[in-house]
Amino acid sequence: MSHVPVLYAPALEYLAIRPGGTYVDATFGAGGHTRGILERLTDGRLVALDADPSAAERARAITLPSFAFVQANFRDLDRVLDELGVGQIDGILFDLGVSSMQFDEAERGFSFREAAPLDMRMNPDSGPSAYDILMTASERELADIFFHYGQERAARKIARVIVRRRASGTMPTTTIDFAGMVSGLLQRPGRRERLHPATRVFASLRIAVNDELGALKEGLSSAAGRLRGAGRIVAISFHSLEDRIVKHAFREDERLEAITRKPVVAGEAETEQNPRARSAKLRAAQRKAS
């Protein structure tokens, strides 16, 4: 396996995979979790979802009859399972956020390491891009996006400048130029920042573009309704807002019982090998006995 996902071992452990069970990988990505689940199945079945067309291309390499891939957002879980004739499932895994491969594909606009269009859509063929939002949202809407999704303290200042720049026809059109504009507004002379000044703004835009929090709430609710027996949901998050949604869903959904009192985090060895693992939190829940 060339790509090992963050928290790979505990994710599969908490899924408690039964060889004959039916499982869902809600975020196929590079297929690391999918292959791990398939290795543990005998006469079971696995359905994988991903909104990204490039994930669909990677999924074609898996030709097992027990595997099915559908290009779809996990908020459409019920529709996908109904169309496949799948009623109940024994477990589902959500590996949230943007994959390292999506960050590496400069043309997707998720990163500002290289110049690219301000896109940020998980599915490039669906919905408005980040640039569309920056050019059409009101000053208040933009400030709300930066503040609520990115915890950016200078949200109003950034939104005000964006509205001014687009009115004058000088709004940046590429990731690097937009990141440079944000940096110029936030950077404090003589102070070295731990994060690039535009990091929170980019993350908040991506969340807004893909309605990631709304999709997560819908996906978790649908998943809970599909579990049978002591079926499990495992979710790996990289953002505090995602983790909060998962935690509240596992505590407040009457169909579920949390089985991780505290989130599982990566050990020192994993974080040294993959710095992205530092922000990862895994939570698991199972269906309550009826």
Q: Supply the pLDDT for residue 1.
A: 39
Domain ranges, ordered by start, for the chain: 8-101+212-287, 106-210
Determine the average pLDDT of the residues in 171-186: 93
Element (H, E) at 166: helix 155-167
Q: Supply the pLDDT for residue 217.
A: 98
39 pLDDT band (50/70/90 cuts)?
very high
Residue 170 has pLDDT above 60, yes or no: yes
> φ and ψ at 46, to 5 degrees?
-130, 130
119 pLDDT band (50/70/90 cuts)?
very high
Residue 169 has pLDDT above 60, yes or no: yes
As a CATH number, domain 106-210 is 1.10.150.170
Given CA atoms 73, 75, 79, 85 in this order, what sign does their dihedral have?
positive
Q: Tell me the whole-structure pTM to 2 decimals.
A: 0.91
Residue 100 has pLDDT above 90, yes or no: no
Instruction: Summarize pLDDT for 242-276 with one digit per residue, the tens.
Output: 999 999 999 999 999 999 999 999 999 998 888 88
Give 41-105 as a DSSP string.
-SS-EEEEEES-HHHHHHHTT---TTEEEEE--GGGHHHHHHHHT---EEEEEEE-S--HHHHH-
Look at 33 and 113; give whichever has higher pLDDT.
33
- The amino acid present at 222, given as its one-letter code, is S
The CATH number corresponding to 8-101+212-287 among 3.30.200.20, 3.40.50.150, 3.40.109.10, 3.40.30.10 equals 3.40.50.150
